[in-house]
Amino acid sequence: MAIRWKIRFMSLIGTSYEADIYDNDFVGTPTELIAGAQPFVTRELEDEDVYTPIRTQSGYLRFIVEDASIISQIQPIRATDRSVVLKTGNTVVWVGFLRPEQYSQPWEAAPYEIELPLMSVMEAMQG
């Protein structure tokens, strides 16, 4: 498993982040993608029940598409095909997967921003 795509961005408070998307069959140098306006957003399951044993997370990864062929390359088939690791420096702050859904995109020429749905490891294990 190797990093196939990489997105670097800064938070509003100046923290530097890197989101790495892995591919099981890839060998080579990762492709650098341009971060979208809100590149990485997650939220945790909000449930008032204090006895909820697992609180899964979901979110979106946004980047600028410069070549439309990347959509078919990055789209996972199974829930664990494309793992995503968010890091700041050497510290891992989030681990999950791209959600295997049918992605929609604008019918216009590149470049444009696209958002890919994310799911946490615990959510992927439910399926």
Residue 5 pLDDT grade (very low, low, confident, very high; cuts 50, 70, 90): very high
What is the pLDDT at residue 78? Answer: 86
State yes or no: pLDDT of 106 exceeds 70.
Answer: no
Q: How far apart are CA 1 and CA 24, in angstroms?
A: 4
**How sure is the predictor about 53, in pLDDT bands with cuts at 50, 70 and 90?**
confident
| 52/114: higher pLDDT | 114
What's the pTM? 0.86
